[in-house]
Amino acid sequence: MVAFDRPRVTAVLGPTNTGKTHLAIERMCAHSSGMIGFPLRLLAREVYDRVVAIKGADRVALITGEERIVPKDARWFLCTAESMPLQQDVAFVALDEAQLGSDRERGHVFTDRILRARGREETMILGAESLRPVLRALVPGIEIVERPRFSTLSYAGAKKLSRLPRRSVIVAFSAEEVYATAEMLRRLRGGAAVVMGALSPRTRNAQVAMFQNGEVDYLVATDAIGMGLNLDVGHVAFAGLHKFDGQQRRRLRVSEMAQIAGRAGRHQRDGTFGALTEEGPDAFEPEEVAAIEGHRFPRLDWLFWRNGTPDLSSIDALVASLSERPDDLALRAAPEALDLKILKRLAEEPGVRDRARGNVARLWAACGIPDFAKLGLDPHARFVGRVFGYLSQGYIPHQWFADEVARLDRTEGDVETIAGRIAAIRSWAYIAQRPDWLADPQTWAARTLEIEARLSDALHLGLTQRFVDKRTTALAKKIGGGVGALPVEIDAQGEVTIDTHTIGRLEGFRFVVAPDARAHDKRLLLATAEKRLAGERRRRAEALIASEDTQLALGADETIAVDGLVVARLARGTSLARPQVVLDDALDCLDPPLRIRVVERLRRWTHESIARTLPALAALSEATRAAEAGPALRSIAAAMEAGAGFAQRLPLRDAIEALAPGQRHWLRQQRITIGALDLFDPRLLKPAAQAWRRALLAAYGTPTPPMPPPGATTLPRGAPGAVALMGFRALGGQAVRIDLVERVARAAHDARGAHGRAPFAPDPGLAVSIGLEPATVARLMAELGFRPVAKPDAAPHYVWRGRARAKVAAPDPANAFAALAGLMGR
């Protein structure tokens, strides 16, 4: 069973971090040609990139099941163990991780390469020290070189996920565990990179680059991490010590634990390992720790073997040769692998044996299609059977292949969906790499790799979005130096960043967390920002205190804004003209003394604005408290203040008649008109004054109607009390602005004086210019004391009848001062 052994076969054995792979690369590059077989496509791709940098892309080949880059002048070949072209004559051959010859599923492949893969000048077998006895038995005359580990690997005990040191790798043994662990790290530490054997090289490299570049400090991986991937890792933590090996769930062997733990430490830097639990089935036993630290593992006395050159003359001969048992004590028959199970399943189907005549090699090649998507035996057997059905007739149909590939060329979906598409496209990439299965294999090989690249980019983006929050990562990195060390920056638009990562916006004094932050992250970002933005908020408060009056404005809903930002609101004060100023909740972050200064600044602006915009109202407010004003003037002033500068005359008739000449003069000085129907200051009807009136009324608790349109002369009637508050008098179906009512009243009395007791017709032009309807004019004339006189075929005429003094309407319950004035006149 042992193949002829050429000279210069060397075994380089030792634990992880001994430089075995690096040595093999150096030796290969020193030869005129060479080949190395690796356990993973990821590792083959990584070393391919390194050798290309040394030898150039036109001299280096990459051969894996799904990818084949073979330049015309290729002299150095980097391959997966299964894809090594053993017929290639090269000066140097190496096999990495040769101890995998003991693996139940793939062990026979590595054993076959140990026995048959030879370089013309030099052969090197790389692996664990446990291989020593079996290599001695299988390869007579082999030279064994032992390499010590460059750094110390020690047990650091159990640590909770939240207490793991930076630059840690957490190893889990299922995709579900990997995702759950990565999600927890995102919440605790800002995120983690993810590496699994099922990832494409492109996705894996992008994820590892985040870890290597320091974008994240944690990496969550499956046990694929143990297969020679070189990372800058300080600590390896095991999320568990059990795995499902395809047949059963079992505890890891000590050698497997060591292979994974050995990723910690790099070159001369020491590394540590541990678990996430201190007790229970997933905790390390003392003897396991001692074995890993001392690199002492059970020796391998045998490896799995299967005939590497099976008989392809018929299906039965093929099955028989694959089922042969070895005659060497150092070899054991390999368990029935998936390809052999598929072969036996297809051999039982009708028609397969007929199609296999003369095509046994193709049938066996089709059975070797890996089950990348983990479909299971029956679905995968049906897929392989269909592929072979086409191959037995020539090529795989173009349209079927194209349709299946196009179905996978979509990047939408979650992480699991995209990962499933990548697994599926790998099957089609594998098929496209076979030189005689498609009519145009090169085109389809390129197409499948392009789709895999797009899906890989989408998967990397999905993994990053799901498991990495760069803002939280930046916080977690800086928080060790104290909150004061955080590099918080605020731009002119209020955007708040930490290490160039946007964490939110400072809108005035309120910090708003970035909308894409998750709920858990918001608490951390908010707490950090609140501590670091105090200085900026103080600066903004001082700027508000020193602001010009032109920067402050009355906003909607009784608010006060500075440069468009709401900072306070008006509330009920001691009187309508003296409202309180209540700061917005966003300013609660300021120190109490600073808040007092801000309130004083806003209160001063408010009082000055009222005095400037509503001068009569401010004066009336003073008059209500002045003893020298007298009862009549005080009652009038109180009623007008309650109406924010407006009051109806009829309820105040007695108080008006009781005014002394000096008091009437004072009212005229305040620009207050004592009209026929209303008392008012016409300046208060301007838009700016109306806005302040409405805000003061609302702050005092008086319901107010909407602001009248600028320049409006009439409104729909509405509730009489409501329209009166805004300076309009309800007349018939319309509400007329009170200063225009006074103009009509003066015009009517002027006409009465000109006509004596004779009937007269009001000037229709005035009514039209105001927009009064005939019914409104009639109602207004009646309230002014005129009665209509019928004149056939003529415009309405009126004569003076005088205004009745009796019956004062019940005072408006909202106007207590008007009611008091009415009582005083009785």
Q: Which residue is associated with the tokens 């990997």?
A: 178
Beta strands (DSSP E) in 703-815 are 714-716, 728-731, 734-737, 786-789, 797-800
Output the six-digit token pair for 99.
Answer: 């101890």
User: If pLDDT is split at 50, 70 and 90, which confidence band does 40 have?
Assistant: confident
Contact 580, 573 (CB under 8 A): yes
* Chain mean position to CA 483: 24
| φ/ψ (deg, to 5) at 183 | -65, -40
Most confident of 325-339, 512-526, 747-761: 325-339
Quickly count helices (H) and strands (E) in the chain. Answer: 30, 34
With CA atoms as reference, report the closest residue to 226 among 261, 201, 200.
261
Please give the pLDDT value at position 519: 55
- Here the contacts of 755-760 (C-beta below 8 Å, separation 24 or greater) are 757/799, 757/800, 758/799, 759/789, 759/791, 759/797, 759/798, 759/799, 760/797, 760/798, 760/799
Please tell me the distance from the alpha carbon of residue 502 to that of residue 490, in angstroms, as a whole number.
Answer: 10
Alpha-carbon distance of 20 to 146, in angstroms, equals: 10
Higher pLDDT, 707 or 792: 707
* DSSP H or E stretch at residue 717: none
Q: Render pLDDT for 645-661 as a digit per residue (tens, 0 to 9).
A: 899 998 999 999 999 99
| CA atoms of 122 and 94, how far apart (whole Å) | 9
For 489-507, write each residue's pLDDT tens digit: 777 777 877 666 677 788 8
Q: What is the pLDDT of residue 505?
A: 82
Determine how β-strand 249-251 pairs with β-strand 242-244. antiparallel
Residue 117's contacts (CB-CB under 8 Å, 6 or more residues apart) are 35, 37, 84, 86, 93, 95, 123
If you average pLDDT over residues 56-64, what whole number do you get?
Answer: 95
What are the b/e assignments for 85-110, b being 16+ CB within 10 Å? eeebebbbbbbbbbbbbbbeebbbbb
Place of tokens 């509730």: 719
Does the pLDDT value for residue 826 go beyond 50? no
- Check whether 35 has a pLDDT greater than 80: yes
pLDDT for 635-692, tens place per residue? 999 888 888 889 999 899 999 999 999 899 999 998 999 988 999 999 989 988 988 9
Q: Is the dihedral of CA 785, 790, 794, 799 positive or negative?
A: negative
The CA radius of gyration of the chain, in Å to the nearest whole number, is 46
Which pLDDT score, from 0 to 100, does residue 498 have?
67
User: Is 247 or 66 the better-scoring residue by pLDDT?
Assistant: 66
CATH number of 9-146: 3.40.50.300
Average pLDDT estimate for 234-253: 88
Residue 724: band (very low, low, confident or very high) from pLDDT cuts 50, 70, 90: confident
CA distance 42 to 488: 39
Exposed, middle or buried, 691 (CB in 10 Å: 0-12/13-18/19+)?
A: middle
Average pLDDT for residues 461-486, to the nearest whole number? 64
pLDDT value for 733 = 84
Cα(6)–Cα(341) distance, integer angstroms: 35
Is residue 237 predicted with pLDDT exceeding 90? yes
Task: Kindly indicate the confidence band of residue 208, based on its pLDDT and cuts at 50, 70 and 90.
Answer: confident
CB 806, CB 826: distance < 8 Å: no
For position 1, what pLDDT does the model report?
Answer: 44
Q: What does the pLDDT read at residue 714?
A: 87
**Between 248 and 455, whose confidence is greater?**
455
β pairing state of 153-155 and 60-63: unpaired
CATH number of 155-294: 3.40.50.300
Residue with the larger pLDDT of the pair 826 and 76: 76
From CA 136, how far away is CA 807, in angstroms rounded?
127
Contact partners, residue 463, CB within 8 Å, separation at least 6: 182, 193, 194, 203, 207, 415
The torsion angles phi and psi of 456, rounded to 5 degrees, stand at: -65, -40
Average pLDDT of every residue of the chain:
86
Considering only 249-253, 710-714, 715-719, 768-772, which range has the smallest mean pLDDT? 715-719
CA distances to 14, 40, 71, 136, 456 from 97, rounded to whole Å, are 11, 10, 27, 17, 27
**Token representation of residue 307:** 């005939």
Instruction: Answer for the pair 38, 110: CB distance below 8 angstroms, yes or no.
Output: no
| Location of each CATH 3.40.50.300 domain in the chain | 9-146, 155-294
**Residue 471, pLDDT score:** 59
pLDDT on residue 500: 64
Residue 148 has pLDDT above 50, yes or no: yes
